[in-house]
């Protein structure tokens, strides 16, 4: 299991878009890339909002993740603050090399990029209310997930929660979820999702795939 951390604006959307993919095992949002102490949601200091994902390298490569990182946001536009800057954080030389190589390709194509590539020194996990943000707002589905996960995986650790967070933003499909999680214990959850979708207008994200 490998881990990679990156910032691309507000961390809510990226967590949903990356979390739906079957190669992603866990997602969590937080703050990294700063030096001024310990950040919080009320005062992020000089830190950046980031997404940290754990992934199965046999199913999903670092190259695919980095490619999607650049595809999902405009890195040629200057960030409005340190909090929302474009940032790739490496934990080893392999990650550093992959990130820098792709950054050079982007600069060659677009002329410039405001993305920074830096070592990951520390990661501060954000408050629970920021984790799987869209799933928590998908009330009927979130409440059913909680009912099925009492005293089991936390919201941060749950792979299913990562998938549901993506599904709430139109990434992936219910059929894919049912195939990945075939346990009949989830049948009531699938029923709630179908009911919610029937009563609401379904949205589809155009940047969900990890090509």
pLDDT recorded at residue 66: 97
Taking the CA of residue 105 as centre, how many other CA atoms within 13 Å lie in the half-sphere pointing to its CB?
Answer: 11
3-state secondary structure 104-145: HHHHHHHCCCCCEEEECCCEEECCHHHCCHHHHHCHHHHHHH
Confidence of residue 153 (pLDDT cuts 50, 70, 90): confident
> Per residue in 49-103, pLDDT tens?
999 999 999 999 999 999 999 999 999 999 989 999 999 999 999 999 999 999 9
The region that residue 119 occupies, defined by phi over 0 for left and psi between -120 and 50 for alpha, beta otherwise, is beta
> Per residue in 79-89, pLDDT tens?
989 999 999 99
The whole model's pTM is what? Answer: 0.92
- Round to whole Å and give the CA distance between 180 and 158: 13
Name the residues annotated as catalytic.
10
pLDDT recorded at residue 200: 78
């Amino acid at each position: 299991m490998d881990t990679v951390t990156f910032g691309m604006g507000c961390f809510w959307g990226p967590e949903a878009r990356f979390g739906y993919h079957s190669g992603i095992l866990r997602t969590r949002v937080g703050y990294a890339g700063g030096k001024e102490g310990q950040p919080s949601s009320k005062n992020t200091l000089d830190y950046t909002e980031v997404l940290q994902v754990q992934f199965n390298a046999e199913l999903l490569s670092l190259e695919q993740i980095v490619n999607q990182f650049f595809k999902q946001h405009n890195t040629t536009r200057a960030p409005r603050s340190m909090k929302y800057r474009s940032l790739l954080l490496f934990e080893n030389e392999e990650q550093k090399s992959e990130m820098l190589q792709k950054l050079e390709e982007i600069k060659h194509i677009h002329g410039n990029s405001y993305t920074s590539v830096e070592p990951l020194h520390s990661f501060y996990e954000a408050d629970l209310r920021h984790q799987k943000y869209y799933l928590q707002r998908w009330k009927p589905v979130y409440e059913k997930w909680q009912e099925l996960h009492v005293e089991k995986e936390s919201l941060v650790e749950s792979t299913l929660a990562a998938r549901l967070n993506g599904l709430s933003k139109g990434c992936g499909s219910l059929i894919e979820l049912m195939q990945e999680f075939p346990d009949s214990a989830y049948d009531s959850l699938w029923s709630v999702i179908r009911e919610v979708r029937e009563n609401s207008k379904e949205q589809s994200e155009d940047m969900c795939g990890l090509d």
